[in-house]
Amino acid sequence: MFGVDTSRLSRRDLAPLRRRIGVVFQEFRLLDHLTAYENVALPLRVLGQHERAYREDVIELLRWVGLGDRLDARPATLSGGEKQRVAIARAVVGKPDLLIADEPTGNVDEDMGDRLFRLFRELNKRLNTTVLIATHDLALVRKARTDVLRLADGMVVRVPAPPPEPTAGPQA
């Protein structure tokens, strides 16, 4: 991974590689005693960054995922879709080299799913972040128009991207 044979690394030597990966868990994994802002800022705090260095970035990211008015909300007061957006913001705040997302649009409406997908695309284009999304959402896969990997009989197989949804033409 990242040009390193991880099978030969100690736990201590794996830590720097793990910091290069952002993960969006399907079940959010937010800390209930922290606010949305604090949950998103947590990876940067763990790295020892001072709040003044990241505060505006965290706020802007929460605004971008539609939660600029929920900075102080705790997870128990957030809907499933809002929790998912906090989890996504937390996963990308550190500008990871690799983002792994498990059903990242499963708890949001189509418009927010499209917005989050644009965020993933921006990460890929602007920061050269590799984005790997596990999903059953065929509409999302069609919109991606990119490489698709499928698990088949225990093997990872590359398959052509499905064609875009046909658009409704004039009715006769």
pLDDT(4) > 70: yes
The count of other CB atoms within 10 Å of the CB of residue 108 is 21
90: nearest Cα among 132, 46, 126, 136 = 46
CA-based R_g, the chain, Å: 18
Q: Which domains does the chain have, with CATH numbers?
A: 23-136 (3.40.50.300)
- pLDDT at residue 168, as a whole number: 57
- How far apart are the C-alpha atoms of 43 and 114, rounded to whole Å? 25
- How far apart are the C-alpha atoms of 63 and 69, rounded to whole Å? 8
81: nearest Cα among 111, 122, 37, 51 = 111
- How far apart are the C-alpha atoms of 169 and 172, rounded to whole Å? 9
- How far apart are the C-alpha atoms of 10 and 23, rounded to whole Å? 21
Report which residue type is found at 90: R
Q: What is the pLDDT of residues 95-150, one digit of tens each?
A: 899 999 998 888 788 888 888 888 888 888 888 899 998 888 877 777 777 778 88
Whether the full predicted model's pTM is greater than 0.85, yes or no, is no
Q: What is the pLDDT of residues 18-32, one digit of tens each?
A: 889 999 988 899 999
